[in-house]
Amino acid sequence: DPDVRFGCRTAITGLQEVGAEIVEINIQEINEAHNAHLIIMLTEMLAAYKYDMPEHFKSFNRETVFGLSLAQDMSAADYVVANRQRTRAIKVLEHLFKQVDVIATPASACTAPLVTSGADEYGESNLQKTLKIARYCMISNLTGIPAICVPVSYDADKMPVSLQLMAGWWKEDLLLHVASAVESRVKKVKPKLFYDILNM
């Protein structure tokens, strides 16, 4: 979305202003990594719920049912190949983190979408929306690198835009330092509906 692109680029420019060197990178085999993430996630989800499915099937939302149905058609060979791709993704990131300290991407390709009517009762199955929301977090989830999301701006509807920062394994200290530098430049707006859970 244009608002996401603008907010994230502005945040990265802000880092540049405080001394960061910005380097454009290309994450090799990113689509293959996304496919591997999906296969591993769904097959492991099926393994976890396989024996509880008959008893609890009606309590699963549509998207979960769809994912579990897909997983039933995946083979052990699919799982092995996906994990080989995971190893390749780790190697790609190992190489990249020799060139850069932190990777910055949008946290999500869109701001939070509206909850559709009936979704609270029946759930919602919108694969396009889910993939748009999760697009940038898959690589860190697949490879186990630390990642953090920080607010950077707001869209026209006052929905927050966030930047995701990822660092190499065991570099959480660096990640928190950069995240703090990004977040300190943001003027935060309290949402219309706000619950102060720390003081409840």
The number of CA neighbours under 13 Å toward the Cβ of 82 is: 20
Mean pLDDT of the chain, nearest integer: 90
Which uninterrupted H or E stretch holds 41? helix 30-49
Q: Which structure tokens are listed for 10?
A: 């502005």
pLDDT of residue 178: 95
Q: Where are the beta strands (DSSP E) in the chain?
A: 102-106, 147-154, 160-167
Q: pLDDT of 117-175, one tens digit each?
A: 877 776 777 777 888 888 899 999 999 999 999 999 988 888 889 999 999 999 999 99
pLDDT of residue 145: 97
The one-letter amino acid at 194: F
81 has pLDDT over 90? yes
Write the DSSP symbol of residue 28: T
d(CA 48, CA 60): 14
pLDDT of residue 112: 82
Distances (CA, A) of 146 to 12, 164, 183: 19, 10, 18
Write the DSSP symbol of residue 199: G
pLDDT of residue 1: 84
Q: pLDDT of 16-48, one tens digit each?
A: 998 999 999 999 999 999 999 999 999 999 998
pLDDT of residue 24: 93
- Count of residues for the chain? 200
Asked if 144 contacts 177 with a C-beta cutoff of 8 angstroms, the reply is no
